[in-house]
């Protein structure tokens, strides 16, 4: 009868240098490598709103075609997130990292050379597959390399790069529109630019080591796990055994012990308690957030055109840039700053609550949807609390509260649900604007945000200040003595 003694102390000791490390250059290298992808994701997903305005007379786009172009990358990203999330758990984080950003870059380049609606539609699908893969891989890898004290800040910083991408889109579009570049060339340059930052980090992503948690908890390879810990912290990791401590590995001649499969974490199912409720919470909240966020952001040129029908595309683009710069961009960084202080859950529920109030204000207050000044103030408030709220936390939470063996899939399902919500928002907002106007759209968004507020309170735990093992509730099993398992490999195997 196997002994199912809990050996979580083994992992605690091995990961201790990583969990308790000061934030250092290796952490920031991981963040920058991941964050550059999110700059690109945001730029590519949101620039299409401006591009479709330019392309409407060139490709003679109908409202249905505009909606499809604005949203198809988001639908494709659902497939990308689910696919890369599953492959990360099955094949490892390292083997998948860098492939998704390469797919994204290929899609961006091909989009710039589109010749009609159909070709652009297909190329945006390719781009979306890469975007979805990036959402799943970057969060998990950054989380599994982070220390426990600053994990929210580090993972949140990766996502906050989206804010720079949000501003880069209208800024670059404004430069092209104001410089006299023809519309026929400008839209191609706007789409093609998205490949540059993506290609800049392909090499760095391919060089990142496998995360220590995947190496040990899924593959049972203590040597690879300890090497990864040492790569980040500069400290050797220690695996305690019943016959004394075994150092894994040392830089001064210490024996290197390869972990056995007996150290693997018990594989948990996302459909078991408490993970099913957590998955409903992370996926559901991300879905609701992205319905509102992408519905507003991708269709923002259309919203501003209805608000100011006589305004030019350049003036509307500059207004978009101002909203992102004044409201959205600071919101990202306030969330990052407070993530490990007040917690993810509080930031998320209060963000949803304030979004609901701002959207309801535009819907209920007489004239708010027509008076430019009042509308922009309330609209900006909604953007600030979207970022200092669920837009950042829905990215961070799924990378923390699921076990290592299914963390990629949990994150992928959550990201996929979010992108499906984004697809619906981007697809239907243009039609809603035509049928119920700005006021009606904001009433729908208020209801969406209110449901997100309630779901956060019910289904989301608080992982602030915990190790990933504590936050995810992982359990270790020990069919045989760990010390015996290590000793049985012998010095020759240990050194190999």
Q: What is the pLDDT of residue 318?
A: 85
The mean predicted confidence, pLDDT, of the chain is 83
- The answer to whether 260 and 485 have CB atoms below 8 angstroms apart is yes
Compute φ and ψ for 163, nearest 5 degrees. -60, -40
348-351 CB contacts, 8 Å cutoff, 24+ apart: 348/285, 348/389, 348/390, 348/393, 348/394, 348/397, 348/456, 348/460, 349/453, 349/456, 349/457, 350/385, 350/389, 351/385, 351/386, 351/388, 351/389, 351/390, 351/391, 351/393
Query: What's the CA gap between 237 and 149, in Å, rounded?
Result: 19
* In the block, residue with structure tokens 């891989």: 137
Asked whether 292 and 359 are in contact (CB, 8 A), the reply is yes
pLDDT at 238: 62
Instruction: Tokens for 180, please give them.
Output: 């006299």
pLDDT tens digit string along 318-374?
888 888 888 989 999 999 999 999 999 999 999 999 999 999 999 999 888 888 889
Report d(CA 210, CA 226) in Å as an integer.
11
Structure tokens at 86: 């599953």
Q: 164-198 as b/e, with b when 16 or more CB fall inside 10 Å?
A: bbbbbbbbbbbebbeeeeeeeebbbebbebbbebb
Instruction: Collect all residues with Cβ–Cβ distance below 8 Å to 134 and sequence separation of at least 6.
Output: 37, 38, 40, 41, 80, 100, 101, 104
Which homologous superfamily is 8-212+266-472 in?
Answer: MFS general substrate transporter like domains (1.20.1250.20)
Strand partners, 245: 240
Pair 229, 20: CB distance under 8 Å: no
| pLDDT value, residue 268 | 65
Contact 395, 159 (CB under 8 A): yes
Closest residue by Cα to residue 313 from 126, 42, 56, 79: 56
Residue-wise pLDDT for 237-259, tens only, equals: 665 443 334 444 333 333 333 33
- Work out the end-to-end distance of the chain between its first and last CA atoms, rounded to an integer number of angstroms: 32
Can you give the residue ranges of every domain in the chain? 8-212+266-472
Helix, coil or strand: residue 368: coil
pLDDT at position 485 is: 35
Beta-carbon count within 10 A of 367 CB: 9
113's CB contacts (< 8 A; 6+ apart) are 188
Choose among 130, 131, 107, 102: nearest CA to 120.
107
* Burial tier of 251 (Cβ tally within 10 Å: 0-12, 13-18, 19+): exposed
The answer to whether 407 and 399 have CB atoms below 8 angstroms apart is yes
Whole-model pTM: value is: 0.83
Main-chain phi, psi angles of 233, to 5 degrees? -100, -20
Specify which residues 267 forms β-bridges with: none
Q: What is the pLDDT of residue 236?
A: 67
In this structure, what DSSP letter does residue 334 have?
A: H
Q: Which residues of the chain have pLDDT under 70?
A: 1-12, 236-268, 475-496
| DSSP reduced 3-state for 425 | helix
Which residue is listed with tokens 């210490």? 254
Under a CB-based contact definition with an 8 Å cutoff, are residues 174 and 88 in contact?
Answer: no
236, 262, 383, 402, 464 from 407: Cα distances, Å? 26, 20, 29, 5, 17
Q: What are phi and psi of 239, to 5 degrees?
A: -105, 110
């Amino acid at each position: 009868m196997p002994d199912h003694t809990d050996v979580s102390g083994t992992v605690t000791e091995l990961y201790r240098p990583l969990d308790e490390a000061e934030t250092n250059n290796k952490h920031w290298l991981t963040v920058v490598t991941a964050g550059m992808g999110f700059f690109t994701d945001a730029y590519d997903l949101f620039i299409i709103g401006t591009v479709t305005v330019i392309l409407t007379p060139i490709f003679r786009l109908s409202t249905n075609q505009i909606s499809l172009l604005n949203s198809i990358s988001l639908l494709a990203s659902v497939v990308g997130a689910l696919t890369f999330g599953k492959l990360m758990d099955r094949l490892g984080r390292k083997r998948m990292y860098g492939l998704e950003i390469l797919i994204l870059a290929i899609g961006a380049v091909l989009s710039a050379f589109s010749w009609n609606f159909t070709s652009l539609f297909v190329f945006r699908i390719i781009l979306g597959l890469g975007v979805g893969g990036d959402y799943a891989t970057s969060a998990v890898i950054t989380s599994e390399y982070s220390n426990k004290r600053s994990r929210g800040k580090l993972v949140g910083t990766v996502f906050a790069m989206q804010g720079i991408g949000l501003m880069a889109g209208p800024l670059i579009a404004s430069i092209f529109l104001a410089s006299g570049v023809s519309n026929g060339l400008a839209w191609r340059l706007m789409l093609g630019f998205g490949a540059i930052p993506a290609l800049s980090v392909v090499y760095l992503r391919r060089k990142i080591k496998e995360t220590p948690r995947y190496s040990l908890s899924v593959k049972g390879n203590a040597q690879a796990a300890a090497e990864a810990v040492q790569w980040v912290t500069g400290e050797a990791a220690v695996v305690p055994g019943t016959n004394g401590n075994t150092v894994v590995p040392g830089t001064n001649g210490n024996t290197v012990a390869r972990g056995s499969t007996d150290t693997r974490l018990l594989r948990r199912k996302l459909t078991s308690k408490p993970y099913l409720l957590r998955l409903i919470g992370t996926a559901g909240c991300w879905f609701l957030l992205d319905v509102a966020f992408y519905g507003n952001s991708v269709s923002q040129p259309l919203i501003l055109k209805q608000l100011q029908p006589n305004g030019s595309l350049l003036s509307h683009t500059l207004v978009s840039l101002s909203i992102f710069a004044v409201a959205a961009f600071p919101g990202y960084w306030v969330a990052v700053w407070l993530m490990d202080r007040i917690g993810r859950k509080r930031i998320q529920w209060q963000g949803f609550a304030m979004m609901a109030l701002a959207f309801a204000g535009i819907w209920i207050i007489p004239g708010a949807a027509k008076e430019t000044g009042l509308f922009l103030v309330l609209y900006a408030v909604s953007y600030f609390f979207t970022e200092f709220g669920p837009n950042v936390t829905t990215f961070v939470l799924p990378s923390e509260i699921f076990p290592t063996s299914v963390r990629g899939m949990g994150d992928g399902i959550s990201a996929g649900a979010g992108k499906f919500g984004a697809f619906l928002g981007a697809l239907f907002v243009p039609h809603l604007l035509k049928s119920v106007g700005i006021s009606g759209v904001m009433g729908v968004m208020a209801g969406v945000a209110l449901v997100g507020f309630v779901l956060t309170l019910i289904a989301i735990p608080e992982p602030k200040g915990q190790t990933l093992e504590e936050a995810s509730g992982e359990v270790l099993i020990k069919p045989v003595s760990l010390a015996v398992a290590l000793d049985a490999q012998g010095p020759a195997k240990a050194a190999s």
